Amino acid sequence: MIRVAIQKKLGAFTLDVSFDSGAGVTALYGVSGAGKTSIVNAIAGLMRPDAGRIELDGVTVFDSTTRIFLPPERRGIGYVFQEDRLFPHLSVRRNLTYGRRRPGENLPQPSFDSVVDLLGLAPLLERLPHRLSGGEKQRVAIGRAVLSRPRLLLMDEPLANLDTARRGEILPFLERLCRDLSLPIVYVSHAIEEITRLADTLIVLDRGTVVAAGPVPAITARLDLSPLIDRGDAGTVLVGTIESHDTRYHLTTVAFDGGRLVVPAVGGPVGAALRLRIQARDVAIATSVPTGISTLNCLPGVISELGTGRQAHRDVQVNVGVPILARLTQRSISELGLEPGRQVTVLIKSVAVEITDRSPD
């Protein structure tokens, strides 16, 4: 459990944020300059806020009124930076074990072997950092932070300096890490796709303040955050459980709060938790229940909100039990007379549903 309430003036920019975060992955999201890195630096003890308080698992690590400021080495925090920051003169093995001597705290900790295994580092152990690729370096940096027995892991855009291919290489490792370790993580990113794959809780920052905070599905479905969240890739995150498998057609039925979705076959036992993502542009809306249509998923719902937009399209939020975003042309919206309160049917092609195998807590 981490509680943050801090103010800091940095030139013309003022950071003034307050939030709590618990288990799982909490994403700090915002455009560059929103104050994300300043917040994690304050949590880590690398930046001293002007005022406020930071509490970690009940331990006050910063309090401006009582003048408490624990130095970074005594905060029990793991920090994965944008750059790998590996120690160039030490082998991968010695980089990984550098933080292992952290004294005092008796925290449950992953073993060296399990982390090496999780991050696929076994073949790299005896190498020096300069003989690693960018993606390998970042994996070592992640392992090093995890192995320092932190109470909390901070990750400041760990994928930002990698190209798309390397990013694709690391994301699965990150997903396994988030799933397998019972370690709270604060994950900074300005890429909504990373957040929808990794995070449980989303905190949206804008110009130094928190504008929204809550579970990822609820926040990503909010239309009022459109200007802040990258809408080029707008979509809804749904959390559900496997209800049944159809081996004949290789399909899986997933139950979620808004009903059932049929999706391409997913591995996993009945009852297993799943996370789905549906891009807004893959969702269609009908004003009556259609027949003779290939789309397997037809969910009844009520239009809850119309997004604004001057372009060809607008995002429409439909409540089917949970909010789902649909991206429609302005023309369709006006020809069908769509407006909040209208009963509609949401059409989602099964093949368009993205499945991330991470099971949320």
Partner 1 sequence: MLSPLEVEIVLLSLRVGFWAVLVGLPIAIAAAWLLARTSFPGKAVVDGVLHLPLVVPPVIVGYTLLVLLGRQGVIGAFLDNVFGISFAFNWKGAAVASGVMAFPLMVRAIRLSIEAIDRRIETAARTLGASPLRVFATITLPLALPGILSGTVLAFARSLGEFGATITFVSNIPGETRTLPLAVFSLMQVPGTEAAILRLVLISIAIALAALVVSEYLSRRVAARIRGTPS
Q: Exactly one of 49, 78, 184, 235 binds partner 1 (CB under 8 A); which one? A: 78
The answer to whether 250 and 265 have CB atoms below 8 angstroms apart is yes
Nearer to partner 1, 46 or 225 (CB): 46
Give the nearest distance from C-beta 314 to partner 1 in angstroms.
Answer: 44
- Give the C-alpha separation, 304 to 326, whole Å: 11
CA distance to 303, 335, 338, per residue, from 287 (Å): 11, 11, 8
Which of 194, 213, 207 lies closest to 32, judged by CA?
Answer: 207
Give the nearest distance from C-beta 206 to partner 1 in angstroms.
Answer: 27
The alpha carbon dihedral of 132, 134, 139, 145 has a sign of positive
The alpha carbon dihedral of 280, 232, 303, 200 has a sign of positive
Nearer to partner 1, 87 or 249 (CB): 87
- What's the burial of 69, exposed, middle or buried (CB within 10 Å: 0-12/13-18/19+)? middle
Nearer to partner 1, 71 or 269 (CB): 71
Which of 331, 275, 274, 333 lies closest to 303, judged by CA?
Answer: 333
State yes or no: residue 46 binds partner 1 (CB under 8 A): yes
Give the nearest distance from C-beta 27 to partner 1 in angstroms.
Answer: 20
Give the nearest distance from C-beta 4 to partner 1 in angstroms.
Answer: 17
State yes or no: residue 130 binds partner 1 (CB under 8 A): yes
Q: Which stretch binds partner 1 (CB under 8 A): 126-134, 186-194, 229-237, 304-312?
A: 126-134
Q: Exactly one of 93, 102, 207, 349 binds partner 1 (CB under 8 A); which one? A: 102
Could you give the residue ranges of the DSSP H alpha helices within 147-282?
A: 164-180, 192-198, 216-220
The answer to whether 16 and 208 have CB atoms below 8 angstroms apart is yes
State yes or no: residue 145 binds partner 1 (CB under 8 A): yes
Q: Exactly one of 89, 232, 310, 337 binds partner 1 (CB under 8 A); which one? A: 89
Nearer to partner 1, 46 or 228 (CB): 46
Q: Exactly one of 29, 81, 173, 256 binds partner 1 (CB under 8 A); which one? A: 81
Nearer to partner 1, 70 or 266 (CB): 70
How far does Cα 145 stand from its chain's mean position? 19
Q: Which stretch binds partner 1 (CB under 8 A): 73-81, 193-201, 228-236, 300-308?
A: 73-81
The answer to whether 35 and 17 have CB atoms below 8 angstroms apart is yes
Q: Exactly one of 73, 117, 126, 257 binds partner 1 (CB under 8 A); which one? A: 73
State yes or no: residue 87 binds partner 1 (CB under 8 A): yes
Q: Exactly one of 3, 7, 99, 304 binds partner 1 (CB under 8 A); which one? A: 99
Give the nearest distance from C-beta 133 to partner 1 in angstroms.
Answer: 13
Nearer to partner 1, 31 or 70 (CB): 70
Phi, psi for residue 323 in degrees, rounded to 5: -75, 140
State yes or no: residue 107 binds partner 1 (CB under 8 A): no
What CA dihedral angle connects 117, 122, 127 and 131, to 10 degrees? -70
How many residues are present in the chain?
Answer: 361
State yes or no: residue 88 binds partner 1 (CB under 8 A): yes
CA distance to 1, 86, 142, 173, 327, per residue, from 79 (Å): 17, 12, 8, 17, 38
- Give the C-alpha separation, 210 to 226, whole Å: 15
Give the nearest distance from C-beta 165 to partner 1 in angstroms.
Answer: 23
State yes or no: residue 70 binds partner 1 (CB under 8 A): no
Q: What is the DSSP string of 34-98?
A: SSHHHHHHHHHTSS--SEEEEEETTEEEEETTTTEE--GGGS-EEEE-SS----TTS-HHHHHHG
Q: Which stretch binds partner 1 (CB under 8 A): 31-39, 41-49, 157-165, 301-309?
A: 41-49
Which residues contact partner 1 by CB under 8 A?
44-46, 71-74, 76-79, 81, 83, 85-89, 98-99, 101-103, 128, 130-131, 144-145, 148
